[in-house]
Amino acid sequence: MRKLQLRLLSLMLLAAMLSSVAAAQVADGSDTMRVGDMQYGNALDPRGWTPVMAPGQEGFSWLHNGMLRTPTGSLYPYPRDASETPLSAGSDWTYWGLLQLGYIHINGDKNAEFFRQYSDWKNGFALGYFTLNFDNRRTGQYVEFRGSRISSDDQYYRLRAGKYGSYKLEAFYRDMPHTVSTNAYPVWNGIGSTHLTLPAALTPGGSTPAQIAAVSAAAPRRTIGLTRTRTGLSLEGELYRGWVGSAAITNEERNGTRLWGGPMFFNLGGLPGGINETVRPIDFSTTDINLGLRKVGKVWRFVGTYNGSFFRSHKDYLDYQSPFQLQNVLGLPQVANIYQGEYSLEPNNDYHNLRLDLSRELKWNGQFNVAAAWGTMRQNDALRAPVTCTGVVGIDMRPIGGPNYTVPCANWNTTAALSQRNANARIDTGLFDARVNFHPSANFGWHAGLRWYKEDNKTRYLAYNPLTGQYGYISENGSQGSVVPGETGIFDPRNPLYWSSNVTVRNVPYGYTDTLFELGGDWQFGRRNSLGVTYTFDHNEPKYRERKRVDEHRIKIDWVMRSIGDATIRASYEYAQRRGGHYNYDPYTQFFSESLPGFVDPATGLPAHTVADMRKYDLSDRNESKARVIVTYPFGDATTVSATFYGNRDNYSTLIGRQSTQSTGTTLQWDWQPGPRTTASAYLGVETSRMGISNVGDSDGADNGAGLGTPGQTNPNLGGPLYPYANQWWEFDRERNTNAGFTLTHDFGRVRADFSYNYSGSLGHVGYNYATLGALAYRGPGAAAAAGDGFPDNKYRSNTLELGFNVDFTRRFGMRLFGRHETGSFNDWHYLGLDQTLGYDHKIYTDKGPQRNYRVTLLGVMFNVKL
């Protein structure tokens, strides 16, 4: 398939060149419609243009040798050296191009995850860069082709052709690797497929932790990751008398593997379930179609668009064998040996959106814009049987005088146990957006807007088994009910064993309606100061959520000042206040079996769904402040210093849940361009963030007799017997990210040198405290000392040093020598201990985590041929 795609692109390029359709520009000329990615580049050249961006020695023009600046004082880059060659004597066509071929050698820890994360570096020959461009300055026609290839999984090619103001054609192909782990040791056979089986040394559902650990230690090292392959084609041109049409299609294929969780109920708090970290296949395709039609008339401007996206998963499900033997908490003989797990993977789904935009000019230098759109998201995949088990699941308590909590698998391991055979899932969206702008004078303008958006979830599913007359589903393929008595996951109004089981029986069709009104104005005070004020009111009506109404008032003030020397200062401040209607901590009754006929309340009452004082952060009352200051100061003709300072703070009015977030940041940048031959820049960025949350653990009956199955379980209030103050705890997350770098380029004549250094560092800390030891899962001797007050710090650091030389032997032939040295260090408490063993009790992990320290040196030589 990949070879066929490359051949098609080659034929398209040849046809475009033979039909003489084109001209090339280094700046991306896609100014009206795009298909595919917005940026084309790779690890060799993230910008995608560097090999052809040598500045012209004449500067901006023969009349102006110095630098030019933007209105805010930033330096424009010097224009490139446009060394076009006439296609033939007297021809209006010119062409230019570059071919860069060479060899790359890597030494050191080349398999380090962070080094390979988004690049498929390999030793060997590489296509550094290829571009061929044709330009007809008289007619505005152009053809541009460029590409680069590090390896078969890391390459891009793009063709653009057209005539400015008339039509445009674009096609592209690219591969983008994403390495998830280079330090994985899965024990299963069949990695990359939908069927994971255990090796002969392990017995499904009957292996000991020691056997599992031994097999894991002997497993071969694997790389887990995927490759995104994207292809696209677009065409835009005038159809009839000012009507311009466009059409684009993009297809993305994702193939590979990723880490995946596969539980067999919990292995926490002494529960003898099992936790499996497995590997799932990635085999997706997404096709996007975009159609557009626009017309710019004397009064009205019209734009109509259609966007469609079609996702297809080429693998429907994943099943795996678990090595762990389940045990019930009562120590009774196990009637079910459940060792098979299954996941239904992402379903096929379609998205359609139709949008119409109209705008026209008004008096007093005004403009009116209105837009309306309708969209729908749908998926109707066939549903799988609720379980794959055979025999029975559950626990038979009759040997100790209890009931028989077993369920025959034959009534559930068939699609006949479903209330409907297909998902029939659908979400519709609607949009109306109107806006007016007026600028009656040079010093004053105002605008107003009204936006309405609705998301209507039409998906309805009732978990009902017509074979048994029972509701719900068998949880965790039957493993949960085989560990804890009665937790099979079903409700049966005819059976006293299950007629008080409060389980999920319906999906929650979340949706919302959002109405936003905006009013603002801007004033110009003299030539050097301007002020803008905008007020926004956002009225949100969530559906099937804890609040039925959420209102937010926001005011934003912008100020631009140019009265302090040559500096430009841009400052903004926002304040928002969010409030809402009554907060119902448990609005989900209708989706549980307690809402069905025949449900019998337990003698001790229904357990509280959650603590009543909990507030979900997107619905909680909130006060928000945002401030930002940007300063740009030019020094002379060649230097600019700029700085940005910002801070955000959110305070949530809640005892339980997210309580506060804040972030502050500073960036400093220095740019120096004394002439076309020399450029230099340096930057420093520091950002800190904090988040505070609080929660409370429910009582398990051991400390105050208010756990599940006791009368106190129905009290949802903080400070009650189920959620005592003694069980409250607080967590504080802090993170600091630092980025710094320096670049320098200089043209010595036949030799151009470039140097760069980049540093990236992150420090994260998770701290906590608690009211009493009741908040901890472990409350035995030495619990306080064992708990401490925080986790070890997470630290990520990387340094990258690059040096390159471009040597011109002749006007058309040259060579580039370059090297990169990268070091990194990594420490994350989530992976502590996994370098010793990946098996702990009834838990098995696959990934040991990124390499703690790595050092890589990359050397390359590329021969340049100017075409």
In this predicted structure, the answer to whether residue 713 has a pLDDT above a threshold of 80 is yes
Residue 89 confidence class, pLDDT cut points 50, 70, 90: confident
pLDDT at 616: 95
DSSP state of 718: B
Q: What is the pLDDT of residues 797-829, one digit of tens each?
A: 999 999 999 999 998 999 999 999 999 999 999
Q: What is the pLDDT of residues 144-175, one digit of tens each?
A: 999 999 999 999 999 999 999 899 999 999 99
pLDDT at 45: 87
pLDDT at 64: 59
Q: What is the pLDDT of residues 482-505, one digit of tens each?
A: 999 999 999 999 999 999 999 999
- Kindly report the average pLDDT of the chain as a whole number: 90
pLDDT at 61: 61
Helix H, strand E, coil C: the string for 274-336 is CEEEEEEEEEEEEEEEEEEEEEECCCEEEEEEEEEEEEEECCCEEEEECCECCCCCCCCCCCC
Q: How crowded is residue 133: how many other Cβ atoms within 10 Å of its Cβ?
A: 23
pLDDT at 66: 62
Q: If you count DSSP H runs as helices and E runs as strands, how many of each does the chain have, helices first? A: 4, 38
User: What CA–CA distance (Å, rounded) separates 521 from 525?
Assistant: 13
DSSP output for 143-154: EEEEEEEEETTE
Burial (Cβ within 10 Å: 0-12, 13-18, ≥19) of residue 828: middle
In this predicted structure, the answer to whether residue 2 has a pLDDT above a threshold of 50 is no
Q: Both tokens of residue 834?
A: 């996994």
In this predicted structure, the answer to whether residue 395 has a pLDDT above a threshold of 80 is yes
Helix (H) or strand (E) holding 642: strand 639-652
pLDDT at 420: 96
pLDDT at 778: 73
Average pLDDT over residues 364-382: 96
Largest CA distance in the chain: 104
Q: Both tokens of residue 516?
A: 């936003």
In this predicted structure, the answer to whether residue 352 has a pLDDT above a threshold of 80 is yes
Q: What is the pLDDT of residues 494-538, one digit of tens each?
A: 999 999 999 999 999 999 999 999 999 999 988 889 999 999 999
CB 468 within 8 A of CB 438: no
Average pLDDT over residues 557-569: 91
In this predicted structure, the answer to whether residue 20 has a pLDDT above a threshold of 50 is no
Closest to 429 in 3D by CA, of 538, 536, 550, 307? 307
More reliable by pLDDT, 137 or 193: 193
Residue 409 confidence class, pLDDT cut points 50, 70, 90: very high
Q: What is the pLDDT of residues 420-465, one digit of tens each?
A: 999 999 999 999 999 999 999 989 999 999 999 999 999 999 999 9
Percent of the chain scoring above 70 in pLDDT: 93
Q: What is the pLDDT of residues 619-667, one digit of tens each?
A: 999 999 999 999 999 988 899 999 999 999 999 999 999 999 999 999 9
pTM exceeds 0.75, yes or no: yes
